[in-house]
Amino acid sequence: MKVLLAEYATCHDPTLAAEGAAMSDTIKKSFERSGYEVVLPGSGDFEAEIERLAPQCAMGLVIAPDHLLARYTQILEQHTHNLGCSFMTVALCANKVQTGKILRLHGVPVPEEVTTGKRVIKPVKGCGAQGVRVSDSPAGDGEFAQQYIDGDHFSVSIVASRVIGDACLYFTGNPPLVLAVNRQHIGHAADGAIQYLGGETPVHPEREAEIIETAKKAIVVLGGQGYCGVDVVVADKVYVVDVNPRITTSLVGIAACMKEEIAEILIDASKGGGPTHVHLAGSVRFDTHGKVSFI
C-alpha cells in the first residue's frame, strides 16, 4: 500500500530544509517499518506533484509551513485519505490572531495583545519561530504583538482522532492521545529574534498535568486531527503561545523513545481509533537538524 509523504521545505525552503528533512525521514522510516511503500514528491512544482501522486496512494500526509499548509492539504484531501489535520483547521491555526481569539473565548489562557512595553512580535501567519522577536518597537505590517511572559517553554505532542460518523449521527473517536511533553530550547539573538534550537523529550515538569490538560483543550477547541503540537509558556498560568496543526520537530526525539510506530498511530487516529497511551523508554535531546542523543 502506498503512502504519499509530501514535505515542502526540503526542496523549496532552504531556511527550513534541515528541519523538514529530519521530520520527513522520521515519518518515512516509520511507514516503511510498518510495511508501507512511501511515495515522495519530486523537486518540481509542489502543488502539481501532490495532484499527480495523491491519486496513486491510499493515504497521504503534508508537512509544510503553516501559511502554505492549508492549500496543499486541501489538494491532498481531494485525491486521497488525509492523515493530518483537515485543511479548514490548518487554515484557522495559520492565523495566529484568530486562533488566539478562539482559544481565549473558550477559556484557554493565551498572551494578551498589547501595544506598549516589552512584548513578543509575531507574523500573523508564520511558521515556528520565524520572524518572532522580543521588542518594545511597534509591530509591522502583517504582524501583531503579545505580552512578553517570562516562564518555562514546553510543547505537547498530541495525536487527535478524526471525528467519524454519517449524515445522521456523528460521534468522536478516541480522546486526544498525548505522545509526550517536550522541553523547548529557545535562543535569543542580540537583535531580539527568538530561535528554536530543539529540545528534550519526554520531560515531566512539576505542572505536567496542567500543561497536558491545557494543550488537549486547545486541540479540541480548534478541531485538531492527526499530529498536532501545542507550544506553551508556564508562568502564573499555562499560556498557549502557538498551535501547530502538523508534524513538528519534537517527533524526531519522541520516535527515538517510543515503542509504538507513529505511522500506525496516525493511520488508526484517522479512522477514529488508536491507542490510549504510548510507551516511552529513556529521554533524549534533539536539534533542528535531526541529531538525537540519549540523556
Q: Mapped to the 3 state alphabet, what secondary structure does 107-122 carry?
A: CCCCCCECCCCCEEEE
**What pLDDT score was predicted for residue 191?**
84
Mean pLDDT value across the chain:
94
User: What is the CA angle 163-166-169, rounded to 5?
Assistant: 85
Cell numbers 490510549 correspond to 276
> Is-cis flag, bond preceding 138, omega within 30?
no
**What pLDDT score was predicted for residue 174?**
81
**What pLDDT score was predicted for residue 173?**
64
**What pLDDT score was predicted for residue 164?**
58
Question: Do residues 197 and 187 lie in contact, with contact meaning Cβ atoms separated by under 8 Å?
Answer: yes
**What pLDDT score was predicted for residue 190?**
83
pLDDT tens-digit readout, 93-111: 999 999 999 999 999 999 9
Q: Is the pLDDT score of 121 beyond 50?
A: yes
Burial 90-118 (b: 16+ CB within 10 A, else e): bbbbbbbeebbebbeeeebbbbeeeeeee
pLDDT tens-digit readout, 207-217: 999 999 999 99
**What pLDDT score was predicted for residue 10?**
95
Q: CA dihedral in degrees (238, 176, 201, 127; nearest 10)?
A: -70
Mean pLDDT value of segment 133-159:
94
81-82/59-63 β-pairing: parallel
Mean pLDDT value of segment 143-147:
95
**What pLDDT score was predicted for residue 163?**
66
Q: How far apart are CA 94 and CA 91, in angstroms?
A: 5
What domains, with CATH codes, occur in the chain? 2-84 (3.40.50.11770), 90-109+151-294 (3.30.470.20)
pLDDT tens-digit readout, 253-277: 999 999 999 999 999 999 999 999 9
pLDDT tens-digit readout, 202-242: 999 999 999 999 999 999 999 999 999 999 999 999 999 99
Cell numbers 512580535 correspond to 121
Residue 170: which pLDDT band, with cuts at 50, 70 and 90? very low
Weakest-pLDDT range from 78-82, 102-106, 168-172? 168-172
